[in-house]
Amino acid sequence: MQRVEEELTRLIKEIDYDEVTKLFSMLSGGKRLRAKLILKIAGEHKDAPLLAAIVELIHGASLLHDDVIDDAMTRRGVASVNATEGSKMSIMLGDVLYSKAFTELVAFDKEIARVISSSVTALSKGEMMDVKMAESFNTDEEKYLNMLYLKTATLIEAAAKASAILVDKDVQKHALYGKNLGLSFQIIDDILDITSDEKTLGKPAMNDFVEGKCTLPYIYLDKVLNREESQRLKSSHAKNISASEMEWIKTKMQENKTIEKSFELAQQLSNEAQVAVSDDKELVGILETMIKRSY
């Protein structure tokens, strides 16, 4: 990971603009899940740290744009770039990171470049779907999971797939692993948005619902509520709701075990990924750590 951070520093320095260097230094590194995954799969390859840095630039760019779209004032517990520097600067910084990532990506094998770049197209499509879906209360589980795959899992899937290509490992098994890791990771995040407090999350609890996102626990809940209760739930969608209304939603979720049902799907996806790479203890370990996050 130190090599990855060194590569990131080098790539940002090559852009040769102090404003970019300053703003990039304000971004929290986060879990670096995608970079760690690349190193676990292809760590012995000399170009693995550069590939990891490229993917982290892409991920960072997507988060910068995401924060503007969501009007998010914090990112990982600290002020977001759009909060401190404005939306224009956040978008332009994201564009710079995307452009630099693609500039470096062309030096890799054509298939690796195609896998990563096509995932960015899918990611952008997923972002658009997410914005569109937030306009009304979504009750379609399949539609939600497809959006989740495009917006979140596709870049993790691409990172795993490209790494496997780099060191001539089973591409399809690692792609499945990455896809399911990404989906289950995001489902757990969706659960934590409901079950954790603001201090733990670094943002207000149940913020997804306030922003218009109908994650799995809400979709599952709506299916079991009576008509009056369903209308009550939908009337709170995409609004700043009171503490008492939040408590009512959480109570209904507890009564109907919609959190548990969501977790079961995350566990199922994780189990499928474990089977795909059962001979790699480190990759299995990543899944086990991810799925055990408290909720």
Average pLDDT per consecutive 10 residues, the chain (295 residues; last block may be shorter): 96 97 88 94 97 98 94 83 95 98 97 98 96 96 98 97 98 98 96 85 82 96 98 96 95 98 97 97 93 73
For residue 130, which of 69, 78, 190, 82 has the smallest C-alpha distance? 69
β strands within the chain, DSSP E = 74-75, 78-79
Question: Given this model, what pLDDT does residue 205 score?
Answer: 82
Domains annotated for the chain, with CATH where assigned, are: 136-295 (1.10.600.10)
Phi, psi of 103 (to 5 degrees): -60, -40
CA distance 45 to 214: 41
Phi, psi of 214 (to 5 degrees): -105, 95
Question: Given this model, what pLDDT does residue 57 score?
Answer: 98
The Cα angle at residue 239 between residues 151 and 248, in degrees rounded to 5:
100
CA distance 119 to 62: 12
DSSP-assigned letters across all residues of 50-111: HHHHHHHHHHHHHHHHHHHHHT-SEETTEE-HHHHH-HHHHHHHHHHHHHHHHHHHTTS-HH
Question: Given this model, what pLDDT does residue 221 score?
Answer: 98
CA distance 161 to 42: 10
The pTM for the full model equals 0.93
Question: Given this model, what pLDDT does residue 202 score?
Answer: 64
Question: Given this model, what pLDDT does residue 187 score?
Answer: 97
CA distance 218 to 238: 12
| The pair of three-digit structure tokens given for residue 145, joined into one six-digit string | 């999971």
| The pair of three-digit structure tokens given for residue 14, joined into one six-digit string | 């090559």
Q: For residue 152, give the DSSP letter.
A: I
